[in-house]
Every structure is written in C-alpha cells, then in structure tokens.
Amino acid sequence: MDLDVDSVRTARTRADLALAPGERFLAGGTFLYSEPLPPGVTGLVDLLGLGWEPWTIDGGGLRVSATCTVEEVRAGLGALGARSGPYRGLGIAQPCADALLLSFKVAHTATVGGNLSLALPAGAMVSLFAALGASVLVWAPGGGARVESLTSFVTGPGETTLADGEVLREVRVPASALGARTAFRKIALTPLGRSSAVVTGLRAEETARLVLTASVPRPVPLEVAPGDHAALDRALDAVTEWFDDPHGAPDWRAAVTRGLAHEVLEELA
C-alpha cells in the first residue's frame, strides 16, 4: 500500500546508512508496504542499492547477506542442499522458504534480513538459520560491528537486539553445519498456512540440536543426545511459554510441537 513518507533514498555506501530522524531501513518492503507505517516515520533508506552479493560459500562457511531474497535461499541454497554431500545441511532451505505464508511471487523480493529483523515467531528464516547454528553480523551506526548468535538476536515476537540505526549485514553459517544432517517439520491450521509450529534440527557429532519456532515467542534451542526421546520430553517440559495468536491455541501448539520434535529427533538418529 502507499506509505505516507516524504522521502526515499537509496543507500549506495555504508556512509549512506546513517539514518536521519524519522528514517527507517527498507529491504524488500514486503512487510513495510503491507501495513501503514507507525506515526513518526517520514523516510525510507533503501538497502538494495548497496549491491551486496546474495550469498557466498567457502571453507569458512556460508555468508548470506541481509538483502539475499527468500527466493535465492530457496533456489540457490536449496539446490546446494538437495544433493547429499558437503552442503546437505542446506536441505532444509527449501522447506523453510516454503514454510512462509508468503507466495513465491513475494519471495522474489522478501529478504532474509527483513525476515530476521521482523522476528515474527513464524519467521522461517529464523527456523532455518538458527538450526544451522548461525550468527549475525550487525553494523553499528557510524562504523563498528558486532556478531551475535541468531537465537539470542531474536528476543521476542517482533523483537530483536537491533538498536536504532543498526543494520543487519549478514548471516554466518559455520562450515561444520553445512555438511551435517538437518531436518524440518511444520504444522499450521491449514496445509500451507501461516506456521503454528516449526521444528528444525541439526545432527552434530555427539548431539542433536533442535530449534523450536512459530509455537514459541522466540526461538528455543534444545540440545539432546541423538535418539534420547526421554531427554527431549524433559527438555520440552521445561518450555513453559507457548505463543498465542490467531494461528493456534497455545496448548495445542505445545502438543503438536512435541510431536514434531520427536519426529525430527527420530530423523536425526
């Protein structure tokens, strides 16, 4: 929809990222243009002019720019993960992209950075990258940067540790995760609806690392020994806060999350 702003400027360099009062970052715009802006926002700074490489992969791991689109995750990373081999961990890229309610047409412009910054419980890019043990690189205004694990970056529904003027620059996935086995399960109130519960997981050497999203207000990482379903039950028992919104009652979400988590653990045995 039309946004009531006075200016849109396209950032070309890092210096352009210094926000004037009332300015806000614009990535794909698929969320920003879908609701009226809060009062006080008067300008947008378009990040897509920075021309960041969507993603790069090397011995050090995978780096995904904040401006990489969901479609590039699905097609690019998804294709790498489709084969068994050094990138099989990315096998959950495609189902995670598909777990978003947004259609393939919206996925052309929706970005990873926008998804992580929005930090919705149903943010499937969180489900994907948290399972891969990713961290995020955040640019501070006026120079400087910080790195933080994704699971601590998202602090609640719609809440992150991003301070005013901070930019999410990229997501970093360690090389070890790329070759690991991963698994994905989702349930929604309708077959392709907004996620009610998503469980993703990665099989490390000694442990299975599961991440709960969508059914909880912020991503919940769980680590249990492979095949130890009793331990998983205990870990789930300790989760007490279940998300409540029009996409499913909390008690149901708790129950189906448990079912999905056991399936993921089973798959990662």
Ligand X SMILES: Cc1cc2nc3c(=O)[nH]c(=O)nc-3n(C[C@H](O)[C@H](O)[C@H](O)COP(=O)(O)OP(=O)(O)OC[C@H]3O[C@@H](n4cnc5c(N)ncnc54)[C@H](O)[C@@H]3O)c2cc1C
Contacts with ligand X by CB under 6 A lie at 24-32, 34, 47, 66, 70, 100-102, 106, 110-111, 113-115, 117-118, 120, 122-123, 162, 167-168, 194
* Residue from 194, 203, 209, 218 binding another protein (CB under 8 A): 194
Q: Is 145 a binder of another protein (CB under 8 A)?
A: no
If binding is defined by CB under 8 A, does position 19 make contact with another protein? no
Sequence-ordered list of residues with C-beta below 8 angstroms from that of 185, at least 6 positions apart, any chain: 198, 199, 200, 260, 261, 263, 264
82 binds another protein (CB under 8 A): no
Cβ burial 106-129 (10 Å sphere, 16+ → b, else e)? bbebbbbbbbbbbbbbbbbbbbbb
All residues at 6 or more sequence positions from 30 whose CB lies less than 8 Å from its CB, including other chains: 102, 106, 109, 110, 114
Strands (E), 22-134: 23-26, 43-46, 55-58, 61-65
By a kind-dependent CB cut-off of 5 to 8 A, residue 123 interacts, out of ligand X, another protein, none, with ligand X
For the chain, first and last CA: distance in Å? 47
Q: Among residues 25 and 87, whose Cβ is nearest to ligand X? A: 25
Measured distance CA(239)–CA(216) in Å, rounded: 9
Place of tokens 């689109």: 69
Cβ proximity to another protein: between 35 and 206 the closer is: 35
SS3 category, 186 = strand
Residue among 29 and 221 whose Cβ is closer to another protein: 29
Question: Shortest approach of ligand X to residue 154 CB, angstroms?
Answer: 11
CB nearer to ligand X: pick between 70 and 261: 70
Contacts 24+ apart (CB under 8 A), 162-165: 162/117, 162/138, 164/19, 165/17, 165/18, 165/19, 165/140, 165/141
43 binds, among another protein, ligand X, none (CB under 5 to 8 A by kind): another protein
Only one of the segments 4-12, 60-68, 82-90, 169-177 lies at the binding site for another protein (rule: CB under 8 A); that segment is 4-12
Residue 100 to residue 258: CA distance in whole angstroms: 21
Binding status of residue 187 toward another protein by CB under 8 A: yes
Question: How many other CB atoms are there within 10 angstroms of residue 235's CB atom?
Answer: 18
Q: Does 54 bind another protein (CB under 8 A)?
A: no
Query: What is the Cα–Cα distance from 135 to 170, expressed in whole angstroms?
Result: 9
4's contact among ligand X, another protein, none, with CB below 5 to 8 A by partner kind, is another protein
**Could you tell me which of 265, 45, 61 has the C-alpha nearest to residue 177?**
61
Is residue 190 a contact residue for another protein (CB under 8 A)?
A: yes
Shortest spacing between CB 219 and ligand X, in angstroms: 12
For residue 135, the minimal CB distance to another protein (Å) is: 29
Nearer to ligand X, 161 or 176 (CB): 161
Binding residues for another protein, rule: CB under 8 A, are: 1-8, 10, 26, 29-30, 33-35, 39, 43-44, 46, 48, 98, 101-106, 108-109, 187, 189-194, 196, 245-249, 251-253, 255-256, 259
